[in-house]
């Protein structure tokens, strides 16, 4: 009897202990994970923990601890920075978000706060991102998309935003592309002189004109390529053309030239003729005004097939070969099919512009037009 009584007590005791452990484990875990305990683990005394809680409020303490360990700043110091703000809870709250943001830059703190004050709806990620880029335009999600575009140009930001305001259905890729190609500027409305210092990369189009007296270093083209006409082209371009024809001929491709350098006066006649035949609008899609033709640079050859000179050039083997190979010799298809809205010109399968092999290969591989290349890699980097 005595023995079984003892074992009953023993059982009750064990169950009680076990129950107590079951209850205590979560309590201990909660206590260990509590902000109080975390602060104590960092080394704050009970008294200091009370003070910190009083200053920052229980709901923010985890952020302070995270920021403190990441920035190597004591919590007292963070409180000192934040504590004097009389701007109310909302403002302090975003300041904590900003201070604890992974891309936070201490020297830009005032910029973040100013941007946040003026753009209450901007997410903190956007505030930090835009301020880090030095942008303080009114917040719109398109801003982030624009900046992240490969060919984004800071100086053109205003133009991107104007273009987007006009065509809100366009995405950031389309906006950057259109503005870098200058399609936001009406044809011939703001012409300026091109910088001939760019040499083979000089830009001549409806916006950039070349001086009337500009004269490249011309050489005569062998008449076997020109259907008997007397044509001239920039020497460097001729060398590249000769190399290209040599390789092309090995594949039975025979490249002829129907037009190359054109002087200001010649272009003027060509333009007037075009407009007379086609009317102003279509004529201008076909021929550039004098001073705005790439032919004046001496860097262009208009190519025709020698074996099938009467075929539409885009239907010839020669055109197919050029599309695949011309970039290796420094030539680009200047007015491609499907890019009329960017170039402002009808597709011209015959018009090949020399820009050198490196740039031609880049333009070919990245499927951009010369204006886009020029805007981003040349004008942008001066
Ligand atoms: Zn041409």
Q: What is the CATH number of the domain that holds 276?
A: 3.30.1380.10
Q: How far is the CA of 325 from the centre of ligand 1 (A)?
A: 19
Q: What is the pLDDT of residue 203?
A: 97
Q: Are 172 and 149 in contact (CB under 8 A)?
A: yes
Residue 354 lies in a domain: yes
Q: How far is the CA of 381 from the centre of ligand 1 (A)?
A: 29
Residue 127 lies in a domain: no
Residue 8 lies in a domain: yes
Positive or negative, the CA dihedral 103, 109, 114, 118 is positive
Work out the angle at residue 169's Cα, subtended by the Cα atoms of residues 165 and 170, and round it to the nearest 5 degrees.
85
Q: What is the pLDDT of residue 5?
A: 65
Residue 370 lies in a domain: yes
Domain of 21? 2-33
Q: How far is the CA of 349 from the centre of ligand 1 (A)?
A: 9
Q: What is the pLDDT of residue 84?
A: 46
Q: Cα–Cα distance between 373 and 179 in angstroms, integer?
A: 12
The tally of CA atoms less than 13 A away on the side-chain side of residue 163 is: 25
Kindly report the pTM of this predicted structure. 0.77
Q: How far is the CA of 335 from the centre of ligand 1 (A)?
A: 9
Residue 336 lies in a domain: yes
Residue 135 lies in a domain: no
pLDDT in tens, the chain (382 residues): 455 667 777 887 777 777 777 777 666 666 667 878 888 887 788 877 887 777 777 777 777 787 777 767 777 766 766 654 444 444 455 677 788 788 999 899 889 988 988 888 889 899 999 999 999 999 999 999 999 999 999 999 999 999 999 999 999 999 999 999 999 999 899 999 999 999 999 999 999 999 999 999 999 999 999 999 999 999 999 999 999 999 999 999 999 999 999 999 999 999 999 999 999 988 888 889 999 999 999 999 999 999 988 889 999 999 999 999 999 999 999 999 999 999 988 999 999 999 999 999 999 999 999 999 999 999 887 6
Contacts of 265 (CB under 8 A, 6+ apart): 290
Tokens 């009329």 identify what position? 340
Q: Cα–Cα distance between 266 and 296 in angstroms, integer?
A: 9
Residue 165 lies in a domain: no
In the chain, the number of structural domains is 2
Q: Cα–Cα distance between 303 and 350 in angstroms, integer?
A: 5
Residue 72 lies in a domain: no
Q: How far is the CA of 295 from the centre of ligand 1 (A)?
A: 6
């Amino acid at each position: 009897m005595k023995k079984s009584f003892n074992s009953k007590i023993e059982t009750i005791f064990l169950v009680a202990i076990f129950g107590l452990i079951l209850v205590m484990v979560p309590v201990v875990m909660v206590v260990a994970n509590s902000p109080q305990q975390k602060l104590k683990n960092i080394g704050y005394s009970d008294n200091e923990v009370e003070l910190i809680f009083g200053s920052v409020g229980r709901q923010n303490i985890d952020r302070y601890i995270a920021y403190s360990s990441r920035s190597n700043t004591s919590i007292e110091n963070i409180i000192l920075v934040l504590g004097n703000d009389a701007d109310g809870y909302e403002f302090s709250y975003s300041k904590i978000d900003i201070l604890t943001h992974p891309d936070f830059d201490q020297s830009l703190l005032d910029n973040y706060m100013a941007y946040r004050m003026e753009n209450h709806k901007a997410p903190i990620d956007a505030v930090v991102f835009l301020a880090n880029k030095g942008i303080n335009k009114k917040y719109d999600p398109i801003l982030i998309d624009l900046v992240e575009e490969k060919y984004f140009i800071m100086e053109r930001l205003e133009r991107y935003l104007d273009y987007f305001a006009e065509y809100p259905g366009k995405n950031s890729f389309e906006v950057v592309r259109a503005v870098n190609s200058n399609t936001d500027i009406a044809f011939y409305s703001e012409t300026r002189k091109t910088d001939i210092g760019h040499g083979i990369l000089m830009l001549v189009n409806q916006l950039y004109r070349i001086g009337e007296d500009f004269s490249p270093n011309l050489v005569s083209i062998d008449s076997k390529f020109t259907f008997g006409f007397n044509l001239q082209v920039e020497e460097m371009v001729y060398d590249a053309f000769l190399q290209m024809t040599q390789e092309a001929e090995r594949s039975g491709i025979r490249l002829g030239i129907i037009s190359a350098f054109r002087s200001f006066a010649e272009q003027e006649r060509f333009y007037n003729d075009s407009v007379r035949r086609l009317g102003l609008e279509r004529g201008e899609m076909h021929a550039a005004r004098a001073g705005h033709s790439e032919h004046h640079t001496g860097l262009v050859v208009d190519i025709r097939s020698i074996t099938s000179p009467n075929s539409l050039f885009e239907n010839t083997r020669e055109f197919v070969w050029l599309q695949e190979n011309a970039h290796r010799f420094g030539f680009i298809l200047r007015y491609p099919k499907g890019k009329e809205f960017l170039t402002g010109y009808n597709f011209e399968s015959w018009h090949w512009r020399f820009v050198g092999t490196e740039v031609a290969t880049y333009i070919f591989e990245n499927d951009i037009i010369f204006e886009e290349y020029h805007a981003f890699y040349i004008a942008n980097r001066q």
